[in-house]
Amino acid sequence: MSDPEAKPARGRPKTMNADNVLDLAMTAYWHSDPADVSVNAICQMAGISKPSLYRAFGSEDGLSRAALDRYAEQVLSEMFAVLQGGAGLRETLAALIDFACDDPRMDTGCLFYKMRAGKHRLGPETRARVDEIDASAQAAYATFLKAARAAGDWSNGLSVEAGAKYLGEQISLAITQRASGEDPARVREMLTLALSVFTRP
């Protein structure tokens, strides 16, 4: 944003740290569900007034969009990194399975998947961002699978696009199940089974 070391403006000094509020909002949306967290609740948790929040983020839509942006930077980027790491098919799939089944941050699910599942309840900005991330993820999965196919690691009758969608949805399902309290070992077993279609002829 703006220079954090800029001269301290002119009016009454800020006491609200928008960054902290955003972190808190992201975490609240993430750990419960975007639809179950009101702006009122966020203000209360953050110990700020509503006008302060609205001055910083404009609207609930602006806040949830900013929270999703931050989530994409902080969390989703890692998943993209795994996909783009250039490792082989089996290694990458194993890393994705580990991420979905073991990463403690996914204990309470994935904010992006939660938002996507309740997309119709989001404001237009946030919804657009969800679609954007969805498309990026689909593209990343497709690029990964295309490379695997070029390397001869994978060659069943499926199109790359269908495979990419399938892969993404299976990971989403696993994370969602895990967040809903399903036995982690069982989740891993099911995800491994679902993704075994990529490694069997």
Partner DNA sequence: CTCATTTTATACTAACTGGTATTTTATTTC
Partner DNA sequence: GAAATAAAATACCAGTTAGTATAAAATGAG
Residue from 50, 105, 121, 186 touching DNA (CB under 7 A): that is 50
Question: What is the identity of the amino acid at 50?
Answer: K
From DNA, a second copy, none, interface partner of 105 (C-beta below 5 to 8 A by class): none
**Binding to DNA by residue 80, rule CB under 7 A?**
no
| Number of Cβ within a 10 Å radius of residue 96 | 22
Question: Which among a second copy, DNA, none contacts residue 188 (Cβ within 5 to 8 A by kind)?
Answer: none
The torsion of the CA quartet 191, 193, 197, 200, rounded to 10 degrees, works out to 130
Give the orientation angle of helix 39-46 with respect to helix 18-31, to 10 degrees: 120
Yes or no: say if 106 and 30 are a contact pair by the CB < 8 Å rule: no
Q: Which residue bears the tokens 């989403």?
A: 172
- Closer to DNA by Cβ: residue 4 or 86: 4
Which residues of this protein are in contact with DNA, per CB under 7 A? 7-16, 38-41, 48-52, 54-55, 59-61
Binding residues vs a second copy (CB under 8 A) = 33, 35-36, 117, 120-121, 158, 162, 165-166, 169-170, 173, 177, 182, 186, 189-190, 193-194, 196-197, 200
